[in-house]
Structure 1
Amino acid sequence: MVLLFSTDPDGICHIETSGLDGESNLKQKQVVRRYAEQDSEVDPEKFSSRIECESPNNDLNRFRGFLEHSNKERVGLSKENLLLRGCTIRNTEAVMGIVVYAGHETKAMLNNSGPRYKRSKLERRANTDVLWCVLLLAIMCLTGALGHGIWLSRYENIPFFNIPEPDGHTTSPVLAGFYMFWTMIILLQVLIPISLYVSIEIVKLGQIYFIQSDVDFYNEKMGSTVQCRALNITEDLGQIQYLFSDKTGTLTENKMVFRRCSVAGFDYCHEENGEC
């Protein structure tokens, strides 16, 4: 939404974008020039300007366009004049603007790619190998069907390969090749290792049993062991692919622990947290 009015006397608007980029500090948005000098609210029914901006995209840090007034005066628009979907207005009583992107064309919706399904390296490799097996099966069956049709078209009087119907008519080479394709699919379908997936799932069940039975994972304070709630990434446990760091201490814990101190020459210590 392009900001056209704000109750702030300086024509600014404070917003919080924690829902978009995780930042909780407030950001300032500026009312479009010429509208910032107005003391009264903008009347939507009297809005006669024309806005031209770029096509919908997922770039949260860019917005280009211009606003053309009724007197043909053009005012440039930037990201400082745009309120994004998902933002929260703070320290501002009311704002007013005109919507330029709505529905699935907003930047927030274009950045929403949906949930990511976690797959292990073994599962991705197995899926790739099965696809190659399906492609090889299709090539073999298609080759056999074409060869069968070509053979019957050249040697029509071989009853072993082309069994006649009860009325004495024989099947055409094209239809016989079609039947042969599906016959070879049935005969060669063992090429696709369906049992491989069953074997992998059984192995994963064994891994989960040993993980939950490991005494090194037992938590004495909670009185419980580790719980495996998924079967898809057990074989990738312990392998680091991405390492995230944050300066705000999100991944760390600032904790002060009393170990020992000396008061009037007498040493006080904590047996659990320090050595006496």
Structure 2
Amino acid sequence: MWLFSRKEKEKHRDVARTSGHSHCDNTVTNSKYTIITFFPLNLFEQFHRPINMYFLIVALLQFIPSIAPVSPLSTVGPLLVAFSITAAKEGYDDYCRHKQDKEDNSRLYRRLRKSETDAVSEIEDVRCAQLRVGDVIVLGQYEMLPCDVVPLLSSNGDGSVYVSTENLDGESDAKEKLACFADAWCSEKGVNFATARTEAVEQSEAIVFVDASDFIIHSEGPNKNLAAYEATIEFRINDQQKRKGLALDNFLPATSIVRNTQFVLAMVIFTGNESKVGMTKQFPPSKWALLDRECTRFAKCVFVFQFTVVVLWATIGGFVTHDHVASHWYLGSEVSPPDTMFYAVVLPLRYFLMATIMVPISFKVTVDISKAYVSKVMEWDLGMYRDDQNAFCKVNNSALAEDLGQIEYVLSDKTGTLTENKMNFCHLLTQEGHVHSVEDNTLSVVASAAQSNHYLMNLIRCLTMCNTVERTALPTGRDESSMVTHVSSWTSPSPDEIALVEGASKCGAALLERTRRSTTIRISDDEETYEIVYLIKFTSQRGKMSAVVRSPSGQFLLLTKGSDERILPICVEDSVDKGMVSRRLSEFASKGLRTLTFGFRELDEIFASDWTQRVTAAEAEIETSRRNTMLEELHAEIESNL
């Protein structure tokens, strides 16, 4: 159990661990070697390979004059060259890792510290490696988290914090987390937590609130389980002692990126190698390329053949030497006849050294030089240069470069793994069967045509309002070294929602503003503000998402989107030609496009009000299984007759 506290009177962090063990710093280390360990570890790794050990044995044997037929320099020289090239290549790769570690550890972050003249803490810039457990840091938009933290307050009134974990799991979608002081802040400010999303929190007010708080976090110890987090926080607000549990929703892992949140005040929980990401790291193994493994396998086969030949030669040579030793004085035998040592050891080793040309050391030298050259060619390749990042291809391990040319199949779980997971709006299929496309510039007429087409108008409303997008918060002036750039004025947990909103703007319908309570759209020149009554979120089991909205005139609408397998069966039979829609969607899918189907339903005011009350009551049900059953029935009730 770890204990973190921040006392009101002390105005500074007070960190302790009940076991008495000190916390590690936040230094990031991804390198393999140091100046002291490089030489012995690199030699161990090189001689760990059978083919290198073979060449070493050959070189040592050639230092024995009675065995070696040639000078040992003929083998030692090339061997030193080969080992030096490999060591230099490994050393350069590790130097690049050291350089990246230094850059990461020197990245600047903002930390709260006690002010000598003011009651409010000051913000100071510190290097990433200087962060310690118990520090309260200020994170900005698009800033990468330097360590594991628990968010205390955010710029959003309801305490929501959006982060991207693409560095952990490859998912660039924004995930919503919750600051643990959100409800306490709303209570003190007299703000309704249900509508607090529209309330903006000033950074100075948040710092004052945290400074005035008297809280202790009891956290679990370091572990590498990224799918769970358990802790409790005790705090005093308005002379009332409170206690609440913290879970994964209140935990931000290191390397996450803050999205759509102007600022986050967070307490450092785990640092450096004790962070969840740090504990999943392992000592970088020595990777063998496929060519190295094949060379080792063939070398073993050649060695077996070589051993067989040596035994045969030594046997025949032993008999010949025994019979003609007197006349063969040039063989170097000083005894007549030679003793057993000569026949059993010296003679076989002589033949062994003569047969070493079967595994030429020049091959190893050539391969190592080729690997280094190929790696540099890849890094110099203009075809892999990215203009937006001003970066060339980076080879992290030059020993594996040639493996890329031997790939025959690429197995991928989904398109986002192979692509940048950035979607573009391409085609719009209307209820009548007309297709408007970006390619033929026919999307711009959709908004004007919708003025006289009831179905098309509601299709546009679905595009702009049936989503959970939010306006991207622009970052305030921060050091760009700890930030990533954004590409859209909207952010969403799902990239297809951003593509739909941006596609709707190409159709002449723009989403102007969206909060959790309302959304404002402009179709042609007409602006409309709709109240968001209720959202039925998308799940993989449901395969669809719905939004209940109310127009300025008081009309309730249900807007639904999802896969055609889920939407078409719940549509009214005479509202659309389902066969035509299926054929068109198959054509789109055959081109590699992702497809979505939209539906709508006009709701009676009495039914909509009654349904909203019933779903609110169902959400308050304590028993989980009963609550889920009630919600499923209510969702199915309203998502029908589209």
Q: TM-score with structure 1 length normalisation?
A: 0.47
**Higher fraction of helix:** 2
**Higher fraction of strand:** 2
Bigger relative CO (Cα 8 Å, ≥ 6 apart):
1
Q: TM-score with structure 2 length normalisation?
A: 0.24
